Structure 1
């Protein structure tokens, strides 16, 4: 069997399996990314690391157009409300919801993902309004990665106590879902009370997937029951010991998911994809970045797929090569082995 035929077979199996994805079987963004026993590929933004000059972000949306046209499954944006020099990382700089709305107008099919929206720092009404608006404007392409926040300096700036973020995260998730899933809900929450009011618009297909990042200070049982998916760090990526550890974590989580429902697992890695195809998988910056050739990356993705990872979000902002070159190589040589699912097309919009 040649490589192309095998890829088509994987895509068809993934589309058939994706019929068992619970409440999101009609959600275009979810279905494009996830199916049991399959792995798809997305790219993290920014494509170049911000070091104080916004010029590195110029032309990025043009490359996102190419990412969409080349049939990557998703693009991811991070949520860093305030720049903390101690972290030296400004994220993708733009507000994630504003930028995803901009990208929604520039693209047609690619899933639009937050990795991750800080649910403790925003009120659930504002989160739900922004998220539902993007989901409708994009034809149902929004997938929300969510987190409790890991930058302590941001919390007092919002008038919040960092030690209370676990409870606030749970309350925000519950409030958010009641707003987007029900008409005129009656809500009694530590975050507010409402009755006789409604949130408009509602999501394009009735819901928005919420993917919990890391632990978000929650128990594994809570994540298994209340998440629509789980994003965790990949463990070590220079050899197969990390994927094996990751597989144990995934299995422990999936054993706790009620009724055996399929919920996807995601992981991510910052890569420096070099031209030498056989360059060995080499950790940089204490394992924060993986330098590798194409063969090593494919091997890693195969290891992840084998242990139950359903989506890999790759960051190329630290790459030694121009982003356009890396995107082209990934699209031509890697993506066909891990094809994007095409079971549910975005809803046609005329806004």
Structure 2
């Protein structure tokens, strides 16, 4: 298994963070957004570098960023605003240990050789910490902007996966190369099915990035993933609002919940029991300051799930539920 993938699930389970590093989906933050004239869904990133470094120091396993090339008001979500590979290069320079993941790069709207070069660059600059989440995309408005065919995105996805896995050498004129060279193929994790069959995804992808859900949802999805992919890592996300009172009971909403740290611990235990290997925590609904929340999770939650010694050793619809909804 790729070293970064081995680190992701070292000890049997791990916890990361999904960008943006701002709790902008809260009433207080919405008022601040209006005053600053930011767009709906555009986070305040003034502290993103500080918080990324804090997450790294506290021992969160991975930091995930999304690929949203064009802001669309009908979605109302600008993700972390910055271009995904440029941002990962920046994060590689200011962090040391945390894995850096894309969740996920929309391959069919991108120029393949430049995607390969960008990913190889981040992999080299980060010291092989890149986790390359990939997808076929679900926003039809983007495809004409990039001169791409929405209906053909499945075939385009397969072609780009082959390029990322095997390199560009066979398709280039003699004497040309894409640098930097990679010592090993990029670790590819798929979001959804990317217009492919479950069998194809299980064979060609190195891991799964599943939509958020309850432990019962993931129990079904993990079973479908294991049937086609074996023991390859399965990761997902939780939209979390961590309450100050440790024993505040869970109140579920779409993609996550509000609750105290005991509810979070119970949920993570249930997800691990369902077969989930990694969970990224998404804090845009979190009403408390993020640094306080990060510290509480690092002190009371991470030690229950992260096996330090194991991590150090490892440095070297039902039929469509595979890695999806």
TM-score when normalising by structure 1: 0.81
**CA distance, structure 2, for counterparts of residue 315 and residue 199 of structure 1:** 35
Q: What residue in structure 2 maps to residue 44 of structure 1? A: 18
Calculate the aligned-residue CA RMSD, in Å. Answer: 1.9
Q: What residue in structure 2 maps to residue 185 of structure 1? A: 169
* Structure 1 residue 317: Cα displacement: 1.6
Q: Which runs of 5+ in 2 are unaligned?
A: 26-32, 317-325
**CA distance, structure 1, for counterparts of residue 200 and residue 43 of structure 2:** 42
Query: Is contact 1:109-1:345 (8 Å) kept?
Result: no
* Structure 1 residue 208: Cα displacement: 1.5
Which residue, out of 132, 152, 173, partners 2:140?
152
Q: What residue in structure 1 maps to residue 29 of structure 2? A: none
The answer to whether 1:201 aligns with 2:180 is yes
Which residue, out of 207, 212, 216, partners 1:234?
212
Query: Is contact 2:164-2:185 (8 Å) kept?
Result: no
* Structure 1 residue 55: Cα displacement: 7.6
| 1:330 match: secondary structure | helix
Query: Is contact 2:164-2:186 (8 Å) kept?
Result: no
Query: Is contact 2:5-2:233 (8 Å) kept?
Result: no
Query: Is contact 1:129-1:200 (8 Å) kept?
Result: yes
**CA distance, structure 1, for counterparts of residue 194 and residue 43 of structure 2:** 33
Which residue, out of 253, 276, 282, partners 2:251?
282
**CA distance, structure 2, for counterparts of residue 124 and residue 194 of structure 1:** 16
Q: After superposition, what is the alpha-carbon deviation per residue over 1:5-32, rounded to whole angstroms, capped at 9, x for unaligned?
A: xxxxxxxxxxxxxxxx3xx1xx2x3232
**CA distance, structure 1, for counterparts of residue 43 and residue 216 of structure 2:** 40
**CA distance, structure 2, for counterparts of residue 178 and residue 328 of structure 1:** 41
CA 1:270–1:331 in 2, change beyond 3 Å: closer, same or farther?
Answer: same
**CA distance, structure 1, for counterparts of residue 274 and residue 242 of structure 2:** 23
| 1:162 match: secondary structure | coil
Q: Note the 1:114-125 alignment, pairs <5 A.
A: 114-125=102-113
TM-score when normalising by structure 2: 0.87
**CA distance, structure 2, for counterparts of residue 155 and residue 194 of structure 1:** 29
Which residue, out of 224, 228, 234, partners 1:265?
234
The answer to whether 1:34 aligns with 2:1 is no
Q: What residue in structure 1 maps to residue 313 of structure 2? A: 343
| Aligned residue pair count | 299
**CA distance, structure 1, for counterparts of residue 67 and residue 228 of structure 2:** 29
